[in-house]
Amino acid sequence: MRRHAPRALAFLALLAAPLSAQRPTIAVGVRPYVSVDTPVVALTHARLIDGTGAPARVDQTVIIRDGTIAALGDARSVIVPAGAQVIDLTGKSVIPGLVMVHEHLFYPTGPGVYANLAESFTRLYLAGGVTSMRTGGNMNGFGDFGIKRDIDAGRKPGPWLDATAPYLEGPGLGLDQVHELTGADDARRMVNFWGDAGATSFKTYMHISRAELGAAIEEAHKRGFKVTGHLCSVTYREAAALGIDDLEHGFFAATDFVADKKPDECPGQGAGQTALAAVDPNGEAVRSLITELVRRHVALTSTLTIFETFVPGRPLPPGLDILEPQLRAQFEQRHAAVAKSASSPYIALYAKAAAMELAFARAGGLLLVGTDPTGGGGVIPGYSNQRALELLVESGFTPLEAIRIGTLNGATFLGRADRVGSIALGKQADLVVVAGNPSARIGDVRNVQLVFKEGVGYDPAKLIDSVRGKVGLF
Ligand SMILES: [Zn+2]
Asked whether residue 379 falls in the same domain as residue 238, the answer is yes
The Å distance, Cα 363 to ligand 1 centre, comes to: 25
The Å distance, Cα 196 to ligand 1 centre, comes to: 23
Residue-level pLDDT at 26 = 86
Q: What is the DSSP string of 59-96?
A: EEEEEEETTEEEEEEETTTSPPPTTPEEEE-TTEEEEE
Q: What is the pLDDT along the chain (474 residues), one digit of tens a residue?
A: 444 444 444 444 444 444 444 566 788 889 999 999 999 999 999 999 999 999 999 999 999 999 999 999 999 999 999 999 999 999 999 999 999 999 999 999 998 899 999 999 999 999 999 999 999 999 999 999 999 999 999 999 999 999 999 999 999 999 999 999 999 999 999 999 999 999 999 999 999 999 999 999 999 999 999 999 999 999 999 999 999 999 999 999 999 999 999 999 999 988 988 999 999 988 999 999 999 999 999 999 999 999 999 999 999 999 999 999 999 999 999 999 999 998 888 999 999 999 999 999 999 999 999 999 999 999 999 999 999 999 999 999 999 999 999 999 999 999 999 999 999 999 999 999 999 999 999 999 999 999 999 999 999 999 999 999 999 999
- Amino acid found at 92: K
The Å distance, Cα 396 to ligand 1 centre, comes to: 24
The Å distance, Cα 249 to ligand 1 centre, comes to: 8
The Å distance, Cα 309 to ligand 1 centre, comes to: 14
* Pick from 266, 216, 265: nearest CA to 243: 216
Q: What's 183's domain CATH number?
A: 3.20.20.140
β-bridge partners, 451: 432, 458
Q: Return all residues near 329 (Cβ < 8 A) that are at least 6 apart.
A: none
The Å distance, Cα 136 to ligand 1 centre, comes to: 5
The Å distance, Cα 457 to ligand 1 centre, comes to: 29
Q: What's 443's domain CATH number?
A: 2.30.40.10
Find the helix or strand (DSSP H, E) in which 460 lies: helix 460-465
The Å distance, Cα 156 to ligand 1 centre, comes to: 24
- Give φ, ψ of 372 to 5 degrees: 60, 75
The Å distance, Cα 163 to ligand 1 centre, comes to: 13
The Å distance, Cα 100 to ligand 1 centre, comes to: 12
The Å distance, Cα 306 to ligand 1 centre, comes to: 9
Residue-level pLDDT at 22 = 55
Asked whether residue 92 falls in the same domain as residue 102, the answer is no
Asked whether residue 32 falls in the same domain as residue 121, the answer is no
Asked whether residue 167 falls in the same domain as residue 60, the answer is no
Q: What is the DSSP string of 102-159?
A: EE-SEEEEETTEEEE-HHHHHHHHHHTTEEEEEESSBSSTTHHHHHHHHHHTTSS---
Asked whether residue 266 falls in the same domain as residue 118, the answer is yes
471 found inside a domain: no
420 found inside a domain: no
The Å distance, Cα 200 to ligand 1 centre, comes to: 17
Find the helix or strand (DSSP H, E) in which 35 lies: strand 34-36
Asked whether residue 301 falls in the same domain as residue 225, the answer is yes
The Å distance, Cα 373 to ligand 1 centre, comes to: 7
Asked whether residue 215 falls in the same domain as residue 232, the answer is yes
The Å distance, Cα 263 to ligand 1 centre, comes to: 24
13 found inside a domain: yes
Could you tell me the residue range of the domain that residue 120 belongs to?
A: 98-413
Find the helix or strand (DSSP H, E) in which 240 lies: helix 236-242
**In the listed set 390, 413, 436, which residue is the last one of a domain according to the structure?**
413
366 found inside a domain: yes
Asked whether residue 279 falls in the same domain as residue 389, the answer is yes
Q: Look at residue 280 and give its three-state secondary structure.
A: coil
Asked whether 461 and 121 are in contact (CB, 8 A), the reply is no
92 found inside a domain: yes
What is the CB-side half-sphere exposure of residue 463 using CA atoms within 13 A? 30
Tell me the whole-structure pTM to 2 decimals: 0.94
The Å distance, Cα 203 to ligand 1 centre, comes to: 9
The Å distance, Cα 390 to ligand 1 centre, comes to: 19
447: how many CB neighbours lie within 10 A of its CB?
16
Find the helix or strand (DSSP H, E) in which 202 lies: strand 201-204
First to last CA, the chain: 43
d(CA 132, CA 425): 19
470 found inside a domain: no
Asked whether residue 296 falls in the same domain as residue 439, the answer is no
* Pick from 15, 10, 5, 36: nearest CA to 433: 36
Domain count, the chain: 2
The Å distance, Cα 135 to ligand 1 centre, comes to: 8
418 found inside a domain: no
d(CA 468, CA 474): 11
Asked whether residue 113 falls in the same domain as residue 246, the answer is yes
Q: Return all residues near 300 (Cβ < 8 A) that are at least 6 apart.
A: 246, 247, 250, 251, 293, 357, 360, 365, 366, 367, 368
Asked whether residue 341 falls in the same domain as residue 439, the answer is no
1 found inside a domain: no
The Å distance, Cα 267 to ligand 1 centre, comes to: 19
Name the percent of the chain in helix, strand, coil, to the closest 5. Answer: 35, 20, 45
Asked whether 97 and 128 are in contact (CB, 8 A), the reply is no
Asked whether residue 18 falls in the same domain as residue 121, the answer is no
d(CA 149, CA 134): 15
